[in-house]
Amino acid sequence: MKKIFGILLVSLTLFVSCDDEVLEPFTPGSLTEDVAIQNSTDLSRLVNSSMNILTNRTEYAFSSIFTDEAAPGFNNGGQGINGDYVFLMNVSNASAEAIWNTQYFGLARINRVIGFADGIVPVSPADTQLIERSKAEALVLRALAHMKVLSYFSTNPKDDAALAGVLADRVILATETPQRVTNAEFYTLIHSDLDAAIAIFNANTAPAYANKTYYPSKVLAQALKARAYALKGDYVKAEAAADLVITTSGITLANTQATYNAVFHTHNEPANTEVIFRLRRTVQQNAQATNLHNGWASVANRRNGSPFYEVSRSLYNKLAATPEDYRLSTTVHLTGTSPSLIDPDYATSNDVRNSDIIVLHKHGGQSAATATNGFNPDFMVSRLSEMYFIKAEARVQAADLVGAGLALKSVLDARFPTAQAAPVFASAQAAWKGILDERRKELSFEGFRFIDLKRLGTLAGASLERDPSEYASSAWNFPAGNPANLPMNSFKFALPIPQSELNANSGIQQNPGY
């Protein structure tokens, strides 16, 4: 943390401006922070800089590869084969380090927004509203970052006494060596920040954004409260927050193949459809090392686009079991240029690596490519479907299995061309498993699966579901045996505090097992 929070504002290079389509440079150079940030425009740009820092694909790729969403692709040249895919997790793990550092680098910037907001002198009443809105946005982002730290690094997010991470509720000096605090302290700050942001948004009269899904909002704050309560297992409050988003946000589920595709492939879905918040990317930021689709393919979302990870066979089988489900063709590249190669006899194939190639299509569709100024997919952070899943979880917790099925039906009706029967569950465990399966199909490759298994796997009597073809074939040569599964009680569902943090802050407490 000493290393992270010692990075000053002067290190900033590029970030997205408040103008939706423009990437503006903001390089304070040798200016001190109090000189560099003097007005509402500077503050707004600092918010956008914070969002740019938080746009790190590691979380999305890691969650899919470490679990059962992705499987090694036929063009895999070793990416992840000796690490995340075989559950190798230690203090030097690059994914754990990137997830930790991304949140805390972002928080270092976010806390400066919150701190500067109260010191900037507005030039007009309208300017006051802009300053306040930036502060509210930063409070929501601070809650989001803390929630991610808690989700990945706490051994048990439901236990108030378990350790989360370092509480970054202010700018932390380079000379400090802060320690981890409890989940309870994290949850207190998360809800305090979200409540404060909601209060500001309720009173704010700043002009509406042209595309509100690019910016933290009141609806996002409400959705994050639902997510945080569900993570904690406080389902009475989780359901109330989710219902508030469902009934008052004005956002509706995408209910056609075209509109659902548009959410992920073009980002031009109709207004108020599906998306609550996305981290915006521009064509100028399209670089192989950082854009989203290149987390799984070297070039493009096509069979000839060098996919080094593909959609797992087990996930494909779940989607293909109901081929009219819109999520199948949104997630998997099935038609058009260089589509997937689906082998009906994959289980007995002598060369499954090359006969069964299931290409990921979700992020950017066919437009996403590494080429300069090619389409650069946004990072989905919050969608309305998640609120229905949280409601379903709350219904199970309340022993209302019929209500859980009806909550899932709301999503299913939007994902099929005809109305669907509500799922019927014989037990609470079956209901938890049904919810976990629907979350897997709906939220795949969006960074949820690792956390979902961590918090729901035991309740559902479930674990990772990797198909034997993904690891037992002679086409693969995994180190130290076949990576078939990871027990739900594995210490690896709490990531290690990274070595880089330990080097700078030797007193920080490590998680068990590392």
pLDDT of residue 483: 66
Q: How far is CA 310 from CA 61, 315, 341, 419, in A?
A: 11, 10, 11, 31
Q: Report strand pairing: 163-166 vs 70-72.
A: unpaired
Rounded Cα distance, 448 and 362, in Å: 15
**3-state per-residue secondary structure call for 432-500:** HHHHHHHHHHHCCCCCCHHHHHHHHCCCCCCCCCCCHHHCCCCCCCCCCCCCCCCCCCCHHHCCCCCHH
What is the torsion angle, in degrees rounded to the nearest 10, for the CA atoms of residue 454, residue 456, residue 457 and residue 459? 140
Q: What is the CATH number of domain 37-207+492-513?
A: 1.25.40.390
pLDDT of residue 23: 30
Amino acid at 81: I
pTM of the model: 0.93
> For residue 481, what are the contacts with CB-CB under 8 A and spacing of at least 6?
none
> To which H or E segment does residue 120 belong?
none
Residue-by-residue pLDDT tens, the chain, 514 positions? 555 544 433 333 333 333 333 333 333 333 456 667 899 999 999 999 999 999 999 999 999 999 999 999 999 988 888 899 999 999 999 999 999 999 999 999 999 999 999 999 999 999 999 999 999 999 999 999 999 999 999 999 999 999 999 999 999 988 889 999 999 999 999 999 999 999 999 999 999 999 999 999 999 999 999 999 999 999 999 999 999 999 999 999 999 999 999 999 999 999 999 999 999 999 889 999 999 999 999 999 999 999 999 999 999 999 999 999 999 999 999 999 999 999 999 999 989 999 999 999 999 999 998 876 779 999 999 999 999 999 999 999 999 999 999 999 999 999 999 999 999 999 999 999 999 999 999 999 999 999 999 999 999 999 999 998 887 666 777 765 556 678 999 999 999 999 999 999 989 999 999 9
Task: State whether residue 276 is helix, strand or coil.
Answer: strand
> For residue 411, what are the contacts with CB-CB under 8 A and spacing of at least 6?
253, 385, 388, 389, 438, 442
Q: Residues of 341-379 as b/e, b for ≥16 C-beta within 10 angstroms?
A: eebeebeebeebbebbbbbbbbbbbbebbbeeebbbbbb
pLDDT of residue 471: 79
- Please state, as a whole number, how many other Cβ atoms lie within 10 Å of the Cβ of residue 339: 18
What is the torsion angle, in degrees rounded to the nearest 10, for the CA atoms of residue 421, residue 426, residue 430 and residue 434? 0
Rounded Cα distance, 177 and 198, in Å: 32
Length of the chain: 514
> For residue 412, what are the contacts with CB-CB under 8 A and spacing of at least 6?
420, 423, 438
> For residue 32, what are the contacts with CB-CB under 8 A and spacing of at least 6?
none
Contact 391, 229 (CB under 8 A): no
Which residue(s) pair with 22 in the sheet?
none
Structure tokens at 126: 């309208």
pLDDT of residue 284: 87
Rounded Cα distance, 149 and 146, in Å: 5
Amino acid at 248: T
Contact 511, 495 (CB under 8 A): yes
Structure tokens at 35: 């000189």
User: If you search the block for the tokens 């389902």, which residue do you land on?
Assistant: 235
Q: Residues of 419-455 as b/e, b for ≥16 C-beta within 10 angstroms?
A: ebebbebeeeebbbbbbbbbbbbbbbbbbbbbbbbbb
> To which H or E segment does residue 310 belong?
strand 309-311
Environment class of 123 (CB within 10 Å of its CB; exposed 0-12, middle 13-18, buried 19+) = exposed
Q: How far is CA 496 from CA 93, 161, 167, 363, in A?
A: 8, 18, 17, 28
Domain coordinates in residue numbering, the chain: 37-207+492-513
Rounded Cα distance, 199 and 25, in Å: 32
